[in-house]
Every structure is written in structure tokens, then in C-alpha cells.
Chain A
Amino acid sequence: MDIWAPLLLSLKVALWATGLNLLLGTAVAYGLSRWRTPMAELVDSLLTLPLVLPPTVLGYYLLVVLGRHGVLGAWLERWNINPVFTWQGAVIASTLVAFPMIQKAARAAFEDVDPHLEGAARVLGLPEWSVFFRVSLPLAARGITAGALLAFARALGEFGATLMIAGNLPGRTQTLSVAIYAAVQAGDDAGANTMVIVASITCVVALLIAGRLAPQHSQRRSER
């Protein structure tokens, strides 16, 4: 069986999901790292839910929201957009599932930036957005990248939520993990073996790189 189509589709979906999460996860993480209230912790917990909820539950939520009769789905329908059974649907599922990976890592990285450095940049006359792009973001970049690699690995392996919303259409929405399931169901052990090895190697490589990038703890802080 052709392993290239599902492999390429998986890479495409995982890259999209990682890219979207880099923007979303970083923005939310930065906001939460500044917004130090009990509300922020509640929001953080809610956003971490995808990490612990069964992916099928998430997929079901997505169907309820994005399906033809869903809140968002009915609205999208007016523009003839229907993400159910499309690769874009798979991107939405993977993005949601992998979101906490980047958000958690990015928040920890932003909170690890010495506040004195951001203060120094402000005293030197930089507006807040410059402080973000020139100090906070570069100093948090390693942590964010490590989170992005974990998110990529997670998105690549996404199965449950993807199957629920994008289905199992060979050549269109059949990602690597779904294809492995289909191959095993069909008794195609050789195909399953190849795909399992490819998926495992990709994830091990991503984890190795993420491990090398793990943020180094430094920066002493002084008060008063």
C-alpha cells in the first residue's frame, strides 16, 4: 500500500497545526504570564484540558461545534465552508490537541525571563511591543521551540479527534496514524510495520531535538 500519501498528509497537517499553535500558544502564554490573577490559572486549566481529555471526546465536541448544525458550523455553512471530512478539519483537531504542549512550554519560558531585563528595556525607552520582540521573545525562544517540537510530535500522532472530525478517506483525510489503524484492520501487516517505524523515528527525532533545546535555568533575581 502507498505510505507516501498518508505520510505527506500527516506532515502537512502537523506542520499547519504547529504553525498555528506557535502563534496562538505563544500569544496566550505571554498573556497568561503577565496576567497574574486566579482567573489566569482557571483559563490555563481549561486550556490544558486537551492534554487529559480522551481525544474522542474532543472530536465529539468539535463535531458538535463545527458540524452542519453546530454553533460555528451553521455560520460557516453560509460561506459554503464545512470542515467536517476535510484535511483542514484534521488540522483543527491536531491544533486543539497539541495546543497545551506549546502553551505550557511558552508560559514557563516567559515566566523564566528575568523581569529586570524587561525593566531595563523599558527604562531605555522601548515601548511594550518592542520589549516583547527584542527581549522577552528571544529569551523565551528556546523554550517555545522545544514546546513546538513536542506539539509537532503530538500533532503527527493525533488519531482520535482526527478520526472523529476528518474521518478516514484515503488520499484526502487519511493521516499516518489513521492509515496504520486501517492497515491493521485490513490485515496489511507489512504496510502497518513500515508506517509504524516511520512514525516512531519521526517522533524520536523530534523528542531528541526538543530535549537538546530544553530551557537552561539561570538568572538570579533580587528584590528590594
Chain B
Amino acid sequence: MSVDIAIHRIMNDAQRRFELDVAFRSDRRRIVLYGPSGAGKSLTLRAIAGLLKPDRGHIVVNGRSLFDAARPLNLPTQYRKVGYLFQDYALFPHLTVAQNVAFGVQRGMFNPRRHGDMPAPALRWLQAFELEPIAGNYPAQISGGQKQRVALARALAAEPDILLLDEPFSALDPALKSRMRNELTMVQAQLDLQMLVITHDPADAEALGQHVFEIHEGRVRSESNVSA
């Protein structure tokens, strides 16, 4: 398991010009990109997921090329097999918890039925995160910690090669934060999952990171590889 990433992209908008020029590689399971907001961490994550196209560079996950400006190759988001945990969780507000978890498992034009049998992988994750009691609730009706579990279950049910997490704990209150950090670390260890977390919170970097890259103004400023 490894990531090899080099992303260059110039963002222009009315307020400012921002140059993203991030390069890092790691073969650790838990990678953290740490830095202040506006440093370009989210842009990096979006580029890896294929939601933003770099001008130059390459993105290789587990030896599989997702983007390579030199070839040129730009795999569509749909084929990248990445899991993405959005900062605001991006749960589908019109679907129940169960439907959200089954969303990526069910193909085609229709959403999973509200009162139907759940596909096996979705059911497994619904149970793993103890979401069965709230399976019929809508995202607006559940708590922040529950939302995060739903978003994790939804991402994992699609069997990604790597899990990308965008400020996963910023929306949670402090007590819940440390609990969810532990929970995430346990899930990661159990599944031997590779994940890339971006955060501005040094506590997140310390608790989660095996390999921490500090991002500053669009560039990697330093890295620290914590020995196991």
C-alpha cells in the first residue's frame, strides 16, 4: 500500500491567485496532511478523488495510476475507488440512513428502496457501526457523531482502495472528538485500511498520523514519519 502524489494547479478567482504545488509519497497506512485552513489541503484531497483536475503531476494509489498529466491519463472519479468523507459529511438529505449506506452498492437509475432488503455489504456496515436503531431516520434527525458513522459506513460499503477524510472531526464537540478518533483508529486497524486525513487540528495529527506532512501555502513544508 502506497501513495505517490504530485499535484500542481493554479486557482484563480476574483479575490486571489493560489498556487497548489503539493508532492509527497508514503507507504504508511495512516497519512495526515496537516496545516492551517486555506493551505490547499482540501484541494489536494479533491484532486486525488478526481473532483478537481490538476494542471500537472501524477496521482498513484497502491501502484494504480489515477492521474498522470504526462501520459495523459485522468481517470474519472467514478473509477478511482476512493472513499471520501466530506467535512460536512454530505449525507443525502432525501434518503434515510439505510438508503445512504446502501447508496454506492446499488447501481442504476433508482435509489435503494426505503423499505426494502438491504444489499449484504450495506447491511454489514450498518451493523458494524451500530446504525440499525436509526436506519429509518433521515440525516436531519440524527446527531453529529451518528452522521459521521453513517458517512463512514457509506464510504466503506463501496469497498474503496483508500479512504480520504476531510477534517473529519471539526464538526464534533470536544468530548465526541476523542471518542470518534479512537473509533476511526480501531476501524482502520481492523480493516488494515489505508487512509489519508487532512486536518488543521494538531491533536488529530498526533492521534492519527503515522506519516504527517505539514502543508503551508500550497506546499509541503515538512514531514515527520513516526516509527511504529
Contact = CB atoms under 8 A, between A and B. Distances in A.
B123 interface: no
Contact of B40 (A117, A133, A138, A224): A224
Interface residues of B, number: 36
Contacts of A133: 109-110
Nearest to A116: B90
Contact of B86 (A120, A127, A134, A224): A120
Contact of B43 (A126, A135, A224): A224
A122 B41 contact: no
A124 B151 CA distance: 11
B161 to A, nearest CB: 12
A126 B104 contact: yes
Interface of A is mostly: helix
Interface string B45-82: 01001110000000000000000000000001111111
Given A116-B90, A122-B51, A223-B42, A127 B37 contact: no
B87 interface: yes
A54 to B, nearest CB: 39
B77 A114 contact: no
Given A125-B78, A134-B111, A119 B90 contact: yes
Interface string B94-125: 10000000011001111100000000000000
Nearest to A128: B78
B110 A122 contact: no
Interface in B145-166: 154-155, 158
A222 interface: yes
Given A222-B88, A224-B38, A119 B51 contact: yes
B103 A124 contact: yes
Contacts, number: 75
A123 B86 CA distance: 11
B169 interface: no
Contacts of B40: 224
Contacts of B109: 129-130, 133-134
Contact of B51 (A123, A125, A130, A218): A123
Interface string B12-55: 00000000000000000000000001101111001001110000
A131 to B, nearest CB: 9
Contacts of A121: 92, 103
B136 interface: no
Nearest to B104: A124
Interface in A175-189: none
B219 to A, nearest CB: 15
A222 B111 CA distance: 26
A139 interface: yes
A139 to B, nearest CB: 6
B213 interface: no
Interface string A207-222: 0000000000010101
Nearest to B99: A134
A123 B83 contact: yes
Contact of B37 (A117, A125, A134, A224): A224
Nearest to A129: B109
Contact of B108 (A120, A122, A130): A130
A117 B86 CA distance: 9
Given A120-B84, A124-B155, A124-B158, 13 more contacts: A117-B93, A119-B77, A119-B86, A121-B92, A123-B80, A123-B82, A123-B83, A124-B104, A125-B78, A130-B108, A130-B109, A133-B109, A138-B111
User: 6 closest pairs, A vs B, by CB?
Assistant: A124-B104, A120-B90, A116-B90, A122-B77, A123-B84, A224-B42
13 contacts: A116-B88, A116-B90, A117-B90, A121-B103, A122-B78, A123-B49, A123-B82, A123-B84, A124-B104, A129-B109, A133-B109, A224-B41, A224-B43
